Structures are given as structure tokens and as C-alpha cells.
């Protein structure tokens, strides 16, 4: 994967307030170009030998591979879960203008 390849990062938040906070901060900090916050979903998973059933708020984060490590770290800092879901999905193709916009919005400006 190339550093400027666009990727989707998927995560879940326990409520709308945390989802909005994560979304706002990662966009403001240039770690993401855009975050979609979806309606609640029911997640069923095993945690510490128990089957859990929790409503969660899905987030789809658009960024680049070069920003993934910093984005992942920031999600962990902002997230209340011990192990938040952080999954990366490569974008194989997309509208050229949109792909360029994601790259422009997430370009590291600290250099």
C-alpha cells in the first residue's frame, strides 16, 4: 500500500456524543477528511467470557494510509473502550476528484 492511498477506517462508539467528539477532532486535526456517523446498530460479541449485546454508533472515517497510525492512536486516546474496533479497508477506486480531496484534507502539514 502506498502512503497516499485512500483508506476507510471503521470504528464504533458507545453513544452519539462520543461518536461526534471523535469525528470532529480527527477532522479538525487533519487525520481524516470526513467521518460518517451512522444510526445505532446492535453489536453482539464475546467479552471476558460473556456474550454482550450493545447498541453502538458506527463511524466510517476517510483518510490516507500515511495518516492511519496517527488516526488509530487518536481513536484509542478518545475512546472509552479497552479495545476499540479499528479496521482498515483499502479503497480500490473512486471518483478522482473525491480521492484527491481526501488526500488534500489529510496531508501532513507539520513538516
Q: What is the CATH number of domain 6-105?
A: 3.30.70.120
Q: What is the pLDDT of residues 64-103, one digit of tens each?
A: 999 999 999 999 999 999 999 999 999 999 999 999 999 9
pTM of the complete model: 0.95
Domain positions in the chain: 6-105
> Quick one: pLDDT at residue 1?
86
If residue 92 lies in a helix (H) or strand (E), which one and from where to where? none
Predicted local confidence at residue 78, as pLDDT = 98
pLDDT band of residue 109 (cuts 50, 70, 90) is confident
pLDDT of amino acid 73: 98
pLDDT at 110 over 80: no
Amino acid at each position: 500500500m502506498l502512503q497516499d492511498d485512500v483508506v476507510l477506517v471503521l470504528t464504533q462508539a458507545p453513544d452519539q456524543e462520543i461518536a461526534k467528539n471523535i469525528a470532529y477532532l480527527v477532522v479538525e486535526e487533519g487525520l481524516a477528511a470526513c467521518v460518517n456517523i451512522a444510526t445505532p446498530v446492535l453489536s453482539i460479541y464475546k467479552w471476558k467470557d460473556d456474550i454482550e449485546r450493545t447498541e453502538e454508533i458506527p463511524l466510517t472515517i476517510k483518510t490516507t494510509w500515511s495518516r492511519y497510525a496517527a488516526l488509530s492512536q487518536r481513536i484509542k486516546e478518545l475512546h472509552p473502550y479497552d479495545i476499540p474496533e479499528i479496521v482498515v479497508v483499502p479503497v480500490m477506486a473512486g471518483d478522482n476528484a473525491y480521492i484527491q480531496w481526501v488526500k488534500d484534507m489529510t496531508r501532513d502539514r507539520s513538516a
